[in-house]
Amino acid sequence: MSSLTPLYHPVTIGNVTLSGNIFLAPLAGYTDRAFRSVCIDQGASFTYSEMVSAEGVARGSDNTESLMERAKNEPNLGIQIFMPDASVALRALPRLLHYKPTIIDINCGCPVPKVIKTGAGAALMNEPEKIHSMIKNLKEFTDIPISIKIRTGWDDSSINYKEVASAALSARVDMITMHARTRKMAYSGTADWSALKELKQYVSYRDPNVVVFGSGDLYSASDAKEMLQATRVDGLMFARGSIGNPFVFNNTIRLLQHEKTTEPTIEEKLQVMLKQLYLMGEYAGEFLATREMRKHATSYIKGMAHGGKAKQALVQCTTYKEYEHVCKELISGNL
Ligand SMILES: Cc1cc2nc3c(=O)[nH]c(=O)nc-3n(C[C@H](O)[C@H](O)[C@H](O)COP(=O)(O)O)c2cc1C
């Protein structure tokens, strides 16, 4: 990407072209169909499923399958799988193809001990040859673009993202996203955006067709602009910064296109929150949706006057009516 390329632009990943380069990251426990749907409404260029166990896909587990279903307004979807090696990836592939993923992403960054113990997630950062072999094997059986989501390394003394990128490039990977933290950092400390710049330069030099995306510490439109300018990555993924704030997509796109950004009003925020709740209810039912929505709802109301009281009320809501009541009280200032 030259310094003349606009910061917001379409992006081609393998044989797929997407209209923009501002994505929603995979977030286990958050990026379900309902949340992805409101993020798309708010301008997200592309979305990923929560990480899905390739072993679960291979076995046809119901829980796993529901993670791969699309929202109604979601023509494209990246399905992210996690597994320890290529044999599991290949066993999962036939069932995975049934869901027609736009992109298949391999999780090489999950820091959770339960996942690491199996050799999947960030454990793969220590075994670049396994990453190579997963990509190579998948590419033999499908022309769906294959991407990987990596970290900078296992810990400070083993920063090896270039080695991992090299292994992936030689297997003809289509896209590399890096969460610019080590496994040891998990989600704490500051993401190292300078590593993103280095990765982008490294990959561009080796294969300019391979797309590099950045992740880490993106909470606002101005963060996004800063990352794109500082690192020249091809695009980025909002993660924690989008929870309770899908509006960040629209604002980012506006900012990158030199348009005025606008903060949604309380009413607008709560309307989108309720939309997400009802969307979830369509497939999960009111009982589950009202429980599952609590963690999102408390993020939507962050910073609002009487937010503390509203939070207490929201985490006890068990029906749509109760949610609607708290929203009305918040808008009228009656809490
Ligand atoms: C609750 C939570 C769940 C996550 N789940 C996934 C996941 O399933 N797959 C993945 O590749 N990354 C996952 N991540 C990492 C994010 O996609 C992102 O790379 C990371 O949060 C850094 O971005 P941020 O600092 O802007 O939040 C998760 C992060 C959080 C906080």
The string of pLDDT tens digits covering residues 188-216 is 999 999 999 999 999 999 999 999 999 99
Q: Is the CB of 240 under 6 A from ligand 1?
A: yes
Domain count within the chain: 2
Are 56 and 183 in a shared domain?
yes
pLDDT in tens, 144-185: 999 999 999 999 999 999 999 999 999 999 999 999 999 999
Q: Is the CB of 285 under 6 A from ligand 1?
A: no
- pLDDT of 333 reads 86
pLDDT averaged over every residue in the chain: 97
Which of 39, 110, 317, 327 does the annotation list as catalytic?
110
In sequence order, what are the residues at sequence separation of 6 or more whose Cβ sits closer than 8 angstroms to the Cβ of residue 266? 304, 330, 331
What value does the mean pLDDT take over residues 110-118?
Answer: 98
- What are the tokens at 224? 């996004």
Minimum CA distance residue for ligand 1 atom 6: 27
Are 192 and 64 in a shared domain?
yes
Its pTM stands at: 0.97
Domain of residue 322, residue span: 266-332
- pLDDT of 335 reads 79
Contact 46, 70 (CB under 8 A): no
Minimum CA distance residue for ligand 1 atom 15: 27
In sequence order, what are the residues at sequence separation of 6 or more whose Cβ sits closer than 8 angstroms to the Cβ of residue 287? 318
- What are the tokens at 4? 């003349």
Are 170 and 100 in a shared domain?
yes
Give the Cα separation of 6 and 202 in Å (integer): 21
Are 164 and 291 in a shared domain?
no
- pLDDT of 5 reads 78
Are 49 and 22 in a shared domain?
yes
**218, 234, 256 — which closes off a domain?**
256
Residue 1 has pLDDT above 60, yes or no: no
Give the Cα separation of 93 and 96 in Å (integer): 5
- pLDDT of 216 reads 98
Q: How far is the CA of 111 from the centre of ligand 1 (A)?
A: 10
Residue whose structure tokens are 């587990």: 61
Helix or strand run (H / E) with residue 139: helix 128-141
Residue 277 in any domain: the answer is: yes
Give the Cα separation of 66 and 18 in Å (integer): 24
**256, 291, 311 — which closes off a domain?**
256
Contact 79, 99 (CB under 8 A): yes
Q: How far is the CA of 34 from the centre of ligand 1 (A)?
A: 18
- pLDDT of 174 reads 98
Atom nearest to 50 CA in ligand 1: 8
Task: Tell me whether residue 108 is one of the annotated catalytic residues.
Answer: no
Residue whose structure tokens are 């960030």: 122
